[in-house]
Structure 1
Amino acid sequence: MEEVWTIMSNYLYFIHCAYKAEIHAFVLMSNHFHLIIRFPENNMSEAMNYFMRETSRVISRGAGRINQTYGSRYFRSVIGKPIYLEHVYKYLYRNPVEAGICRKVEDYPYSTLQIRLGIRNGVIPLIRDPLLEETPDATLQWLNTKPSEKDQEEITRGLQRPQFGLTIRDKGTFVHHLEIDRL
């Protein structure tokens, strides 16, 4: 995992520089990854094709594999509203907790949350995000609060759509109550 984290971190740095990608968050799991990224120059396809091809090539070579590294193409879901971004952040950073790998979101080493919190150094250039940086203690409390099963299912369904959307009527425990206006 550490080697794969390093490879992916270096290529995220590259696509930030070469494709002007704005990286919000990244979580590497043993069999998949989650990435929140924005492409102001509308070059996502080119950048992600490069990222997937090159990380696959380097990971396969390092592992001595000749088979494909990734099971399929990446799947994207456009996050069109700030409130949706809040839901996706929580889903992404809680993924290792929900998988039973760690007890708290800040304990997972292969997450940009540790870089944001200063727990780990990293080369992944993260954009400044008031949602996660203004009140770290409150943010961690929010991220470490388990959402209801209904909210979790709704977010999972929303991420399976090309345009992320929710039908949740009340915010419940899943939403972090901070206004953001940068999308």
Structure 2
Amino acid sequence: MPRKKRSWNPTLFYHVVMRGNNRQVIFQNEEDYAEFFRSMHYTYDRYTFHLVAYCMMNNHYHLLIRSPNEPLGKVMGTINKRYSNYFKSKYHYRGHLYESRYFAKPAIDAKSVLAVSRYIHRNPIATKQPMVERMEHYPYSSFHLYKKNQPHHIPYMTTTLLPSLMPVLKQTFEDYCIFCEQDDDEIESIDFL
């Protein structure tokens, strides 16, 4: 039976998750993470896309991505194939690197875009054993770009959108970072719109 065709809306951001097969490690060292970023650069040179949040864990990754011109499947297919080829060649790996097709769920409004970005950025501290004490210390997440609020050289990364979606009078990088750092019970009382 053929796979169901994915829907794609070029105006929406999608929460994309890709896991290693059987949850195996797909990023073994710093060089692997760097190669994944090179795969994204390679893809961006061919198909324009925009990220507002990312987090690469050792056995999976998260992207909050929008592809305005090409179907998201074409963008993700290129990123995943390029990285998979690298990994298989480097580690003499055979078989499927990834568990299945990537997961993609649209973020349909400002509140859901903010919620997904917060979830993505909290990944390194939300594990059973937190990987870092503070989110900005995790080097393979976009959170440090928001925390530092300095110019960066990642052409496909947009850092101005998320703060602009915060409630009026809280549309700063600092307020966005506080939103991400707060515990879940503190978040529920915030009116986003």
Q: Report the equivalent of 2:85.
A: 57
Deviations 1:55-85 (A, max 9, x none): 1111221223223221111010011111110
Q: Report the equivalent of 2:121.
A: 93
Give me the identity figure in percent: 20
2:135 maps to amino acid: V
Runs of 5+ consecutive residues of structure 2 not aligned to the other structure: 1-28, 165-170
Q: Report the equivalent of 1:126.
A: 157
Aligned equivalents of 2:60, 2:107: Cα separation in 1: 20
Q: Report the equivalent of 2:187.
A: 173
State which of 93, 105, 113 in structure 1 corresponds to 2:143. 113
Q: CA deviation at 1:109?
A: 0.8
State which of 15, 25, 31 in structure 1 corresponds to 2:43. 15
State which of 44, 50, 69 in structure 2 corresponds to 1:41. 69
Q: Does the aligned pair in 1 maintain the 2:53–2:63 contact within 8 Å?
A: yes
Higher strand share: 2
Aligned equivalents of 1:77, 1:175: Cα separation in 2: 25
C-alpha distance 57-119 of structure 1, shift in aligned 2 (>3 A): farther
The alignment's TM-score, normalised by the length of structure 1, stands at 0.74
Runs of 5+ consecutive residues of structure 1 not aligned to the other structure: 149-171
Aligned equivalents of 2:38, 2:180: Cα separation in 1: 26
Aligned length: 156
Aligned equivalents of 1:120, 1:72: Cα separation in 2: 36
SS, match of residue 104 in structure 2 = coil
C-alpha distance 58-122 of structure 1, shift in aligned 2 (>3 A): farther
1:139 maps to amino acid: Y
Q: Does the aligned pair in 1 maintain the 2:52–2:161 contact within 8 Å?
A: no
1:131 maps to amino acid: L
Aligned equivalents of 2:151, 2:140: Cα separation in 1: 9
Taking only aligned residues, the RMSD between alpha carbons, in angstroms, comes to 2.5
Q: Does the aligned pair in 2 maintain the 1:19–1:47 contact within 8 Å?
A: yes
Q: Does the aligned pair in 1 maintain the 2:125–2:131 contact within 8 Å?
A: yes
SS, match of residue 54 in structure 2 = strand
State which of 87, 104, 129 in structure 2 corresponds to 1:76. 104
